[in-house]
Amino acid sequence: MASLCVHHTSLPLSPPHQVTVPEPSRALPPSSRLPALPSSSNHVSALPRPAAASFAFACHCKAPVRDHDAELLRALRSNGNGTLHGDTALPQVLDSRSDGPGGDGSSKRSRFCARDCAKRIMELPVEERVKVLDLLQRDDAALTVSDYNDILSALARAGDHATAVALFRAMPVAPDAHSFATAVQCLCRQGAPDEAKLALDEMVARGFRPSVATFSAVVGCLCKRGRVTKAMEVLDAMLGLGCEPTIRTYNSLVGGLCYVGRLEEALELLKKLKDSPLTPDIYTFTIVLDGFCKVGRTEEATAIFHDAIGMGLSPTTFTYNALLNGHCKEGNPLKAFALLMEMCGNNDAACLPDKTSFGIVLTALLRAGETSAAWQTYKRMERAGFEVDGRALDTLARGLCRRCATDASALGDAEEVFGKVVASGHEPVSYTYCLMAQALARGGEVDAAVALLEDMVRKGYALRKRAYTDVVRALCDRGRARDALQVLVLVMIVRDFVPGRNAFEALLGELSRQGRWADAMTVYAAAVKRGVVVSWKHLGRETHSPVEPIRLGVPVPQ
């Protein structure tokens, strides 16, 4: 089933048949004639209209299913005047309302297919769907403006705003206030503020009185596009007709002023609303303080926040998020953290932090290196049932690993977060691996550090000198010279890296302490061969128990 298409040409893309060239009119039975088209004084829409004389809403629900794609191809092959290449005559429309011999030519127009509308209407509740589908099966001449309004409303509720606007433009009867209101709302939903304003102006020019909702929709649509001056014109017209704006109307206008950077005017309007019978709500305050936060004026936004609380209004999560974002953008993540903790301790479920709240603060804390606060934020987020982004976890793991240098108790936290990173499917970067290996080695979990280095080598990650040097030192401190030597072999031979001086000297010191002079000379030779200058002092230490020499691929001196 193809979607409804209305084109601004006299040639319909997908009608079941082409209309004939009108001939001199001939009397037809009343039941077979199309309804008379409204005169230009009754229905001249300011909206862009197709070039054809008029449109009818032809219903073919009872007709056999047609090959819609074939009809599209047929229309695309047309000559532009209703004939096809090679056709000598135009086929007749199989409809009692079509122009035939004696027709008045008024039905030569693009036609809607009912099943295109029905496709979206089928998504509506059963009662409304049955009612509208019943209307679609009636003859065009039997449809009143009220019937068309029901179809327009159904299409709007189904979310098919483009089809609703197209049907409004093609209505063969003069639209009423409800028709215009539905069209204006649909144009606003489509993001067409200029056309919506034109339709609103035409509605007023015809003597109809738009509702507050219709005016507010146009004001909101204009403000979202930064057309604040036009929105104020609509507001003036609204007041001129004696239609009182609601706080929602003013909220749209305040948002538009903030959007275009006219913050002082937005704040002035907020103050006027406070002194008027129309009391601003929390959304009015939120819009203004969010505008101030976005331009780095968080202190003024905080004052607006406390002003709202002083009026007895309850902040929402969006209100807090605006302030959190403002503090973080100004480089004050700890202020944002304090505000987040205030939200967590709030008993009001309406302003509990959401995933966005935690994400704003966690990212800012990690960027600022505030690992302790970031860890608390992460645990709060986890208890609230929110998943942390793998990239943020990776950054948190690195921060906790660095913290292990001064706080050994942070190692367990670092391991927990590192495990979460791996479990989430986000592969940690090589830098995170190296920092984790260093933290494990310094924390006494040497075997885990060695396993992590082997995992890095297997995955082809680059090794940092400090990482494997700390592992070698940790092994040597525990008298595990053979394991330390294996780490150096892993680095030198498998990864073809040249270990640093500190790694060689740590191993030489342990070998000399154990009295393994031959092994020490082998390691020393390997260092010299690779251009690493090491100190001789390790070779002059007092010997202890002899151990079997370990070969490193360099001849052992006899």
Query: Given this model, what pLDDT does residue 465 score?
Result: 84
Confidence check: pLDDT of 109 > 80:
no
Question: Taken in order 451, 454, 460, 466, is the CA torsion positive or negative?
Answer: positive
Residue 102, strand partner residues: 25
Q: What is the pLDDT of residue 498?
A: 80
Residue 477 in this model has a pLDDT that exceeds 70: yes
This prediction's pTM:
0.67
pLDDT of the residue at 40: 37
Categorize the per-residue pLDDT at 139 as very low, low, confident or very high, splitting at 50, 70 and 90. Answer: low
Q: Which residue has the tokens 């509990």?
A: 352
Predicted confidence at residue 15, as pLDDT, reads 33
Confidence of residue 117 (pLDDT cuts 50, 70, 90): low
Q: CA 259 to CA 266: how far, in whole Å? A: 10
Hey, what domains does the chain have and what are their CATH numbers? 112-244 (1.25.40.10)
> Quick check: 537 pLDDT over 70?
no
Average pLDDT score over residue span 396-420: 90
How does DSSP classify residue 443?
T
Query: Would you say residue 447 has pLDDT above 90?
Result: yes
Determine the number of helices (DSSP H) and then strands (DSSP E) in the chain: 25, 0
Q: Where are the alpha helices (DSSP H) in 462-500?
A: 465-477, 481-489
User: What's the pLDDT score for residue 529?
Assistant: 85
Residue 297 has pLDDT above 60, yes or no: yes
Q: Which residue has the higher pLDDT, 279 or 132?
A: 279
Predicted confidence (pLDDT) per residue in 278-287, tens digit = 889 999 999 9
Residue 129 has a pLDDT of 61
- Alpha carbon distance 373, 353 (integer Å): 16
Please give the residue that has the higher pLDDT: either 433 or 109: 433
Q: Per residue in 209-223, pLDDT tens?
A: 999 999 999 999 999
Convert the pLDDT of each residue in 351-399 to its tens digit.
789 999 999 999 999 999 999 999 999 999 999 899 888 889 999 999 9
In this predicted model, which residue has the larger pLDDT, 243 or 99? 243
Section 412-417 average pLDDT? 91
Express each pLDDT in 180-231 by its tens digit: 999 999 999 999 999 999 999 999 999 999 999 999 999 999 999 999 999 9
More confident residue, 22 or 462: 462
Can you give the pLDDT at residue 389? 86
**Average pLDDT of every residue of the chain:** 76
Nearest 5°: phi and psi at 56? -125, 155
| Highest mean predicted confidence (pLDDT) among 7-16, 264-273, 383-392 | 264-273
Tell me: pLDDT of 293 over 70: yes
Both structure tokens of 433: 């691996």
Residue 71 structure tokens: 């009809």
- Largest pairwise CA distance in the chain: 127
pLDDT of residue 400: 92
3-state SS class at 208: coil
Instruction: Average the pLDDT over each of 3-17, 263-277, 451-465 and give the range with the smallest value.
Output: 3-17
Backbone angles phi, psi at 270, to 5 degrees: -60, -40
- Of the listed ranges 32-36, 130-134, 546-550, the least confidently predicted one is 32-36
pLDDT attached to residue 62: 35
Half-sphere exposure of 532 (CA within 13 A, CB side): 18
CA distance 496 to 69: 64
Q: What pLDDT does residue 536 have?
A: 63
pLDDT reported for residue 49:
46
Structure tokens, 517 = 């002079």
With cut-offs at 50, 70 and 90, classify the pLDDT of residue 137. Answer: low
Higher-confidence position of 546 and 294: 294
Of the CA atoms within 13 Å of residue 341, those in its CB half-sphere come to 11
DSSP string, 59-105: --TTSPP--HHHHHHHHHTB-SSS-BTT--SPPPPSSTTS--TB--S
| Top-confidence range, 68-77, 490-499, 519-528 | 519-528
Please report the pLDDT score of residue 128 as a whole number.
63
